[in-house]
Structure 1
Amino acid sequence: MEIKILIIDDDPHICELVTLYGEKQGYTIYAEHSGIKGLDRYYELLPDLVILDIMLPELDGWEICQEIRKDYKTPIIMLTGKGESYDKIKGFDLGTDDYLVKPFDPKELMARVKAVLKRSNPHIMSEEIVVLPSFILSNRENKVLTNGKEVIMAPKEMELLHFLASHSNQVFTRQQILDQIWGYDYVGDARTVDVHIKRIREKLGEDHKGWSLRTIRGIGYKFEVPK
């Protein structure tokens, strides 16, 4: 399932940083640098979450938040250079879901994004069951069935397969997979991804209908299903 995140911030560097880390998490990131364009883009996209700076040209973050809250409950994380408790209280009074003071650690922001998404709309993040022809993956039961037969997966194999299958038709680099499954602090060999993919393929077999775990030469991998 595609998760769309809109960041509205007049600092291009912050937008680039959020885009980089967000895409590593498998999100689709859109960025705007002014209040009016940001609000217009919001209505065009109706994203799953908004990362919103307070200090913006044309319309500030408070005004944008008020406009969104007139009709929508989209999760909003506010960004600001101010640390006063007044701003935090005002943000929560307007209906924001979280608040982060600049400068911030992008890893912390991604953790907050994940937590807010889970809290506000659990079905977006869970993808507990992936059902395809001849393939069922139940994350809750830690079970994979292919052609009606249960396949035993090691924990990391299960986590990797679940990540790819729940983001079907999206291509992920080895580094993106490492960041997502092994963590940003992992310092081992990127080839560990190839080893795990090989083991998963061996366990799933080759008689697949309607899906495939594909290698994208020179890039990485994707779990492909018919569109």
Structure 2
Amino acid sequence: MESEVSVAVVEDDPTVREAVGEYLRAQGYAVWSFGDGVSARRALREAVPDVVIVDRMLPGISGDELCRELRAAFAVPIMMLTALGEVEDRIDGFAFGVDDYLAKPFSMRELSMRVAALVRRARAAQASSGELRSGAFVIDLLRRRAWVRGQEIALTGREYDLLLFLVRNDDRALGREEILREVWGWSVGERSTVTVHVRRLREKIEDDPQDPRHLLTEWGIGYRFRAMEESG
């Protein structure tokens, strides 16, 4: 099953922010909401959503500055919302890395259709480049390399296989037997093999392996992997 598509909404107007969030959630998206650029920048350094929607006029840091920083660090699709509709303003936005531009007032249906288009284009680009992106993780499928929050992880071959399986099954409870079967190819085997590799992988991908935010224990079942970190 395909993981839920995540959208970060950075908008200082609470009415617009709440309306966009409610509409996108009703369309099946996971939505992170931020009322200013500073809190959004802090959270998005830790985990990257599938799409970012940014209002141009933000308190703290401007939408322009936030977009520049995001584009310099990540390939996440960015849509800019603005009350300005002049051609020059749209050109400015595209110049510093915005992928799409929507002037206020806008219809929620158009916003949703544009978000869906950004997701489709991003996934097509990832597929053609042999790259898998999910939350804080990027995996190079061709060279068998992986990054978390922009930092490359030194993985053994089996650790890479395990991480790839987990990312592809984001937010799904996984039993140790299933992991053994799918990653090791064993129909029978010691479940402790999975436990040991999970512990080693946590040491490489978690800020605090004793309090993991990505590779969680699912008591009575096995594990649950979450590529996207909780905000806040």
Q: TM-score range by the shorter chain?
A: 0.5 to 0.7
Change (3 A) 1:40 1:2: same
2:85 match: 83
Aligned residues between the structures? 131
User: SS of the counterpart of 1:113?
Assistant: helix
2:57 match: 55
Change (3 A) 1:81 1:5: same
- Following superposition, the deviation at residue 30 of structure 1 comes to 0.6
1:23 match: 25
Cα distance between partner residues in 1 of 2:110 and 2:96: 23
- Following superposition, the deviation at residue 44 of structure 1 comes to 2.4
Q: Which runs of 5+ in 1 are unaligned?
A: 125-165, 170-225
User: SS of the counterpart of 2:93?
Assistant: helix
CA RMSD of aligned residues (A): 2.4
TM-score (norm 2): 0.52
Change (3 A) 1:167 1:94: same
Cα distance between partner residues in 1 of 2:33 and 2:15: 11
User: SS of the counterpart of 1:121?
Assistant: helix
TM-score (norm 1): 0.54
Match of 1:68 among 57, 65, 70: 70
Cα distance between partner residues in 2 of 1:167 and 1:113: 21
Q: Which runs of 4 or more aligned residues in structure 1 lie more than 4 Å from their structure 2 counterparts after TM superposition?
A: 166-169
Cα distance between partner residues in 2 of 1:61 and 1:14: 15
User: SS of the counterpart of 2:58?
Assistant: coil
User: SS of the counterpart of 2:105?
Assistant: coil
Change (3 A) 1:95 1:26: same
Give 1:121-136 correspondences, 5 Å limit.
Answer: 121-122=123-124
Q: Which runs of 5+ in 2 are unaligned?
A: 127-168, 173-222, 225-232
User: SS of the counterpart of 1:82?
Assistant: coil
Identity across matched positions, percent: 38
CA-to-aligned-CA distance 1:173-207 (integer Å, 9 cap, x gap): xxxxxxxxxxxxxxxxxxxxxxxxxxxxxxxxxxx
Cα distance between partner residues in 2 of 1:122 and 1:105: 26
